[in-house]
Structure 1
Amino acid sequence: MNDYTPQKAVFFDLDDTLYDHLIPFRLALQSVLSTGIDFPYEPAYHRLRYFSDKLSAERGGTPTQGHDLEEMRTSRFQLALAEFDIILTTEQAAAVQAQYLNKQFQIEMFEGARELIQKLQAHGYLVGVITNGPPEHQMNKIQALNLEEFIPSELFFISGAVGITKPDRKLFEHVTDKFELSPENCYYIGDSWRNDVVGASSAGWNVIWFNHRGVEPESAHRPHQLAKSYTDLTAYLLGDK
């Protein structure tokens, strides 16, 4: 028996759930492509996320290193921006990707996120992070957000380190097995329909879709709850506590 045996657990996705992922995307495009204030950044970002998930699924999970990872990262920019009449060479896409990575470490948590995590912990919830991506890259974001100040390191689950990628239900089962949790007592909060809603619900978790961008569902799966802000999340998880 390990030390973590709370009645309930709440795990968060990282990108665009704990911080605004649109900001580094917009800054990268402005820096490399000189896109102006009228460019439709949010719709373009949606398509980037779509192609990122699609290309990852085609490869059997997010690549964590080497040529395959770099090719996926540049291809997603080419495919997404082509829909907005921006045709990128491989070299241009790589330059945008490089800036995008750099800007991802200049981030802050969404308003209310840190407070919610600490309130959950104070009420006895086990709180952690489940995220897709290469271990070093995702840990750099975790450190940029100072998450290690209040979440123990053993509660960060990164697909590239575990060897299982969302939406594979086995990643969520790995977490419940490690901490001897029942899926019905676990809550997962994430913005991605494909990775978060589909993945966690298939593992029997309670899913809160953090749909702060107002996008449409992609399948017949249904989250247990919809939230558009951390005010919504706090009200649902803690109510009057």
Structure 2
Amino acid sequence: MAEDKSEIEHPKSEIKKYKHIFFDLDHTIWDFDKNAEETLHELYEINRLHEIGVPAATVFIETYTRNNHQLWAEYHTGKITKTELRETRFKRTFIELGVHPDILPVAFEDDYVKLCPTKTNLFPHAHETLEYLQSKYTLHLISNGFKEASTLKIGNTNIGKYFDKVIISEVVGINKPDKAIFEHALTVAGAQKHESIMIGDSLEADVYGALNFGMDAIYFNPFNAPKPDDVPMQVNGLRELMGIL
């Protein structure tokens, strides 16, 4: 029951009454990996990548996903720029798979950026959960994604109606986990730390970013990765949030 779960999360005397919930977008609501996989399967065929030595779409997707996750982690922490991320992820993937630099598909990144945000796969029960939470709390988004892509993702999936404020790191000029973006988000939302909670898939950007700022956080962990001991709350699916919030 929801009441019992809440008591597990917070001692009975300290059960918190939240007013604002801040969500991450990619990998938390919008299923980035599934949408990217669909996009890359299409682009593999369109660009006839087998003709330049990429053995299979599955191998290409697996290699790209690993490289992309690593580069996004570097972008979160300010080690690389948006331009560097976009210039590197496919080039590194093609070269790793043995494609000669002279025959890399030059428009591949641009085609991917145009197509992927039009995909509409969300994590299971996203609309149901957001509709339920919106009836009890004011919901917001804080995303480290890029403005143009995030706007398309939100619009094409019809999730914008659930969120009062949408904070995009590229617009603000600060990425999670920097405390300044959480401070900015609270100011924009008219919220306070003690009445707010962050939900996201990235331990570093979302969970530790919020916790180090002094705001509660829930780790969205759909693939059941090991949970660090210093992470107080996690869910494996969005629907679980309906039972604890």
Q: Same fold (TM over 0.5)?
A: yes
Candidates 11, 21, 27, aligned match of 1:10: 21
Aligned residue in 2 for 1:166: 176
Instruction: Say which SS state the counterpart of residue 130 (structure 1) adopts.
Output: strand
Deviation track 1:28-69 (CA, whole Å, cap 9, x = no partner) reads 433234564753846752442122221453446x53xxxxx2
Structure 1 205/75 Cα, relative in aligned 2: closer, same or farther at 3 Å? same
Structure 1 19/121 Cα, relative in aligned 2: closer, same or farther at 3 Å? same
Structure number having the greater helix percentage: 2
Q: Using the alignment, how far apart are the partners of 1:226 and 1:114 within structure 2? A: 20
Tell me if the contact between 2:95 and 2:101 (Cα under 8 Å) persists in the aligned partners.
no
Candidates 124, 136, 139, aligned match of 1:127: 139
Q: CA RMSD in A?
A: 3.0
Q: Using the alignment, how far apart are the partners of 2:211 and 2:102 within structure 1? A: 37
Tell me if the contact between 1:10 and 1:127 (Cα under 8 Å) persists in the aligned partners.
yes
Q: Using the alignment, how far apart are the partners of 1:89 and 1:28 within structure 2? A: 23
Instruction: Say which SS state the counterpart of residue 77 (structure 2) adopts.
Output: helix
1:114 aligns with 2:124: no
**What is the TM-score normalised by the length of structure 1?**
0.76
Deviation track 1:98-130 (CA, whole Å, cap 9, x = no partner) reads 34321221213222112212211212x110110
Aligned residue in 2 for 1:3: none
Q: Using the alignment, how far apart are the partners of 1:56 and 1:23 within structure 2? A: 21
Candidates 205, 210, 221, aligned match of 2:220: 210
Aligned residue in 2 for 1:187: 197
Candidates 223, 228, 234, aligned match of 2:231: 223
Cα displacement (A) at 1:91 = 6.8
Q: Using the alignment, how far apart are the partners of 1:192 and 1:111 within structure 2? A: 18
1:37-56 aligned at under 5 Å gives the runs: 39=59, 41=61, 45-55=65-75
Q: Using the alignment, how far apart are the partners of 1:127 and 1:16 within structure 2? A: 17
Aligned residue in 2 for 1:157: 167
Aligned residue in 1 for 2:242: 234
Instruction: Say which SS state the counterpart of residue 39 (structure 1) adopts.
Output: helix
Cα displacement (A) at 1:92 = 3.4
1:54-93 aligned at under 5 Å gives the runs: 54-55=74-75, 57-59=77-79, 62-63=81-82, 69=83, 71-79=84-92, 85=97, 87=99, 89=101, 92=104
Structure 1 94/27 Cα, relative in aligned 2: closer, same or farther at 3 Å? farther
Structure 1 52/91 Cα, relative in aligned 2: closer, same or farther at 3 Å? farther
Structure 1 216/7 Cα, relative in aligned 2: closer, same or farther at 3 Å? closer
Instruction: Say which SS state the counterpart of residue 214 (structure 1) adopts.
Output: coil
Which runs of 5 or more structure 2 residues have no equivalent in the other structure? 1-16
Instruction: Say which SS state the counterpart of residue 171 (structure 2) adopts.
Output: helix
Structure 1 76/146 Cα, relative in aligned 2: closer, same or farther at 3 Å? same
Cα displacement (A) at 1:26 = 1.6
Identity rate, percent: 26
Aligned residue in 2 for 1:97: 109
Structure exhibiting the larger radius of gyration computed from Cα positions = 2
Cα displacement (A) at 1:221 = 8.0
